[in-house]
Structure 1
Amino acid sequence: MNISRKRLSGAVEENIISSEQANALFEYFQAKSQDVPRFTFTHVLYYLGGLIAIGAMTLFMNLGWESFGGAGVVSISLLYAAIGLKITNTLSAKSLNIPAGICATFVVCLTPLAIYGLQQWLGVWPDDTVYREYHRYIKWHWLYMEFGTLVVGVAIAWKYKYPFLIMPIAVTLWYMSMDITAMISGGDNTWALRKLVSLYSGLLMIGLAFWVDVRSRRKVDYAFWIYIFGVMAFWGGLSAQNSDSELSKFLYFCINLAMIGVGVLLIRRVFVVFGAMGSCGYLAHLASDVFKDSWLFPITLTAIGLGIVYLGILWQKHEKAITEKSRQMLPAPLRELLEENA
């Protein structure tokens, strides 16, 4: 729930709290939420600047850096990392946790470049690919860069404990699943295989995110980025599957509905967004293919929609009783997680 000054003023008008209590509560919530990412101008500047800096050393890296040679790339990467860690420590000492976390993440994102430069320097780079292709193509020899990034990422995340540091770790796990598949398959990495790997690696990442979510339920949100990339990988792999069976398409619809339910239960919007897109895609398939010329389909769909609205009304009326009874049947850690997110 968004606690705003307007809401607190309303409580004052209803004589629930005094004006002094409202001001004290507002200052308390402001202090508690200053390190929580929000859509404010300050936070937009933080993340925009950070992502530009990270993108400059990753996605937008050009061939000009190849002219420095392996030793030059390693040296510049280490210099950048030292500057990044220095800024991180300075910001951390001033309790500016969001920009400190972004700077620490910048250091982690330098790791693949440094390892690439080291391999070039030692003359062990296996082919003529260049660093800028790391984020575009699937290659087995990216694994050295990925393992190194995981080690550095986990070490820095362990030291600084900023949630944004989980982002490069989650991305690397996603990349690694594809590159390991390329290595196991001997380079025969077909599109069908990629879809299956994306599906199952996404499931594993969602499981990991849930485990992290339960373990860190009383701390900051470390599971956010793992959920993001896990759901993206799972839903992308699931949606890319080919099937001529209406039963399998209906099963896909049910899985997307289940994703919406999980998203509501865990208060994770990423499940709801992707589940809603998949559900709408299935309904579009019914309208354009299965019931293309049926006048009854829109009427039936309208009735189903209104029925769901009525179900929402019933749920709102009995939500407290149903929630309390159902949570009593859950394990204590999961029950605490749901109560924390409520």
Structure 2
Amino acid sequence: MPNPLPTPTAPQVVSLRQQDLQDAAHDGVITPAQAQSLWQRWVVLDHQATVPTQPGALASGPKFGFVNVLYYFGGLVAIGAMTLFMTLGFQAMGPTGLLLIGLAYLVACLKVADHFKARGLLVPAGILATLAVILSPLAVWCVQHLLGLWPPGGSDSYRAYHTIISWRWMTLEFATLATGVVMLWRYRLPFMVMPIAMTIWYMSMDVANGLMQQEGFDWEFSRDVSLVFGIATCCIAMWVDMRSRRAQEAEWRQDFAFWLYVLGAIMFWGGLSWRDSGSEIGKFVYALINIVMVLFGAAIGRRVFTIFGALGVAGYLGYLSHRVFEDSLLFPFALTLLGLAVVALGVWWQRHEPAINARLARFVPEGLRPRV
């Protein structure tokens, strides 16, 4: 009888670490260069496997685990050390000393970011690259002082960049935006959009100060500029969102618009809410705009709009309750009914959320529709 055909065996799955490849190279099975190339290839393939293949879908962000909490906490502490928490003693070294330290920090951050990214540690790589971007305004501030190009007046302390509104900071902000865009193109990690969005927020205040051409602070004008910048930032976020969803490369199919949406919504909603309308029509229009924000956030799958819109609607309903039941024994009951009505609305929305989102998505461009 003829020999039976060999039965195919099921493919085996083996868990490998980078150290295993290094041990194989040490034993002469493969070369060190081949070990590094294989590891980088597997890291890229593993990253691409997390990106959905359907059009318009974005890769899910990092999970909220203990390790990522440590990553972000440590990164924020390091970022704060070079921004908000910079001490006067540190600045006593002068522009030359600060420039040398800042450049050393920047180069070290980029080296470590390259090291982390090559090994698939994308979250810490993004944090270190972000820290490098945040160091760019410090370098520009030092160069301007050394060359005598810093505009007279205002604060001479770099720490004031994050606490005092002044048009003199605009050169630092343009440099941060340029550096942020270049570094984002180099590393392609979503967290790096955070300093870009924060810088746009800073610019909304400093541009207002520059247009006023005075050292004072015009609250109403700054409020309106913030609102305009918020609208512009949200428009940029939608453009980035659509390009990310339509991107063919895996690295660009990530949520790069998140921080732009967050800061844009804060600027817009803050500028809108700070407007003091003395008429009932103005307050009613404010409530309608917030309702549109709730629906828009549900339609594109961005909850930041829904949250701020809901806060605005709740504030308007509270205002109505106070006006209708002012100095009345029914006022506590009115607030109770209002709270229960909001809870009931939340229950109803949760039960019908997929159908509601599907209907609302018909009114937005296809590139912004959320994918399940």
TM over 0.5: yes
Greater helix share, structure number: 1
2:50 aligned with 1:32, yes or no? yes
Partner residue in 2 for 1:200: 228
1:103 corresponding residue in structure 2: 128
Query: In the TM superposition, what is the alpha-carbon distance from 1:291 to its structure 2 partner?
Result: 3.1
**Cα gap change, 1:314 to 1:185, in 2 (>3 Å):** same
Give the aligned partner of residue 19 of structure 1.
none
Q: Distance between the aligned counterparts of 1:196 and 1:337, measured in 2?
A: 27
| Distance 1:96-1:304 versus aligned 2 partners, 3 A rule | closer
Q: Which moved more, 1:105-114 or 1:262-271?
A: 262-271
Counterpart position of 2:143: 118
Counterpart check, 1:224 vs 2:252? no
Distance in 2, matches of 1:59 and 1:73, equals 15
| Deviation sequence 1:188-207 (CA, Å, 0-9, x none) | 54001111011111011111
| 1:184-231 Cα distance to aligned partner (Å, 9 max, x none) | 220254001111011111011111111111111151000000001000
- The answer to which of 285-294 and 45-54 deviates more is 285-294
Distance 1:325 1:119, change over 3 A: closer
Instruction: Provide the residue aligned with 2:153 in structure 1.
Output: 127
List per-residue Cα deviations over 1:308-337 (Å, max 9, x = no partner). 579749956x928x937973x76xxx3244
* Structure 1 position 150 matched with structure 2 position 177: yes
Structure label with greater radius of gyration: 2
- Does the CA contact (< 8 Å) of 2:50 and 2:60 recur in 1? yes
Which residue number in structure 2 is paired with residue 261 of structure 1? Answer: 295
Correspondence for 2:358: 323
Give the 3 Å change call, closer, same or farther, for CA 310–57 of structure 1 in structure 2: closer
Q: Comparing 101-110 with 115-124, which one deviates more in the overlay?
A: 115-124
- The 3 A distance-change label for structure 1 pair 306 and 151 is closer
Residues 196 and 337 of structure 1, relative CA distance in 2, 3 Å threshold: closer
In structure 2, what is the equivalent of residue 281 of structure 1? 315
Measured in 2, the distance between the counterparts of 1:35 and 1:96 equals 15
**Deviation of the 1:289 alpha carbon:** 2.6
C-alpha distance 248-40 of structure 1, shift in aligned 2 (>3 A): same
2:268 is aligned with 1:234: yes
Unpaired runs of 5+ residues, structure 1, are 1-27
Cα deviation, residue 282, structure 1: 1.2
Paired residue for 1:270?
304
Residue identity matched to 1:142: W
1:58-97 map, 5 Å? 58-97=83-122
The CA distance in 2 between the partners of 1:178 and 1:302, in whole Å, is: 36
Query: Which string of whole-angstrom CA distances, capped at 9 and with x for unpartnered residues, describes residues 254-304 of structure 1?
Result: 111111111111111211211121111111111223432384983985896
Which letter does structure 2 place at the counterpart of 1:60? Answer: F
Segments of 4+ moved more than 6 angstroms = none
Q: 1:246 to 1:97 in 2, by over 3 A?
A: same
Inter-CA distance 302–173: structure 2 relative to 1 (3 Å threshold): closer
Cα 1:201–1:90 change in 2 (3 A) is: same
SS of aligned partner of 1:217: helix
Give me the TM-score of the superposition, normalised by structure 2: 0.75
Identity %: 42
Per the alignment, residue 140 of structure 1 pairs with 167
CA distance 1:94–1:288, change in 2 (3 Å): same
Q: Structure 2: how far apart are the matches of 1:97 and 1:228?
A: 22
**Letter of the aligned partner of 2:306 in structure 1?**
V
- Partner residue in 1 for 2:27: none
- Residue 169 of structure 1 corresponds to 196
Give the AA of the match of 1:285: Y
What SS is found at the alignment partner of 1:134?
helix
**Distance change >3 Å, CA 100–CA 253, structure 1 → 2:** same
> What per-residue deviation string (whole Å, max 9, x for no partner) do you get for residues 66-118 of structure 1?
21111111111000000000001000110111110110000000011111111
Q: Paired residue for 1:3?
A: none
The question of whether the paired residues in 2 share the 8 Å contact of 1:109 and 1:149 is answered with yes
Q: Distance in 1 between matches of 2:343 and 2:71?
A: 43
Q: Does structure 1 conserve the Cα–Cα contact (< 8 Å) formed by 2:300 and 2:361?
A: no
The 8 Å contact of residues 35 and 98 in structure 1, kept in 2 or not, is answered as no
| Residue ranges of structure 2 left out of the alignment (5+ in a row) | 1-45, 52-58, 247-252
Distance 1:326 1:194, change over 3 A: closer
CA distance in 2, matches of 1:313, 1:161: 35
In the alignment, what sits opposite 1:6?
A: none
SS in 1 for 2:63: coil
Distance in structure 1 (CA, Å) of the matches to 2:80 and 2:115: 23
Partners of 1:156 and 1:169 in 2: CA distance: 11
Q: Is the 8 A contact 1:157 1:165 kept in 2?
A: yes
SS in 1 for 2:320: helix
- How far, CA to CA, are the matches of 2:339 and 2:83 in structure 1? 48
Partner of 1:17: none
Aligned pair 1:291/2:318, yes or no?
Answer: no
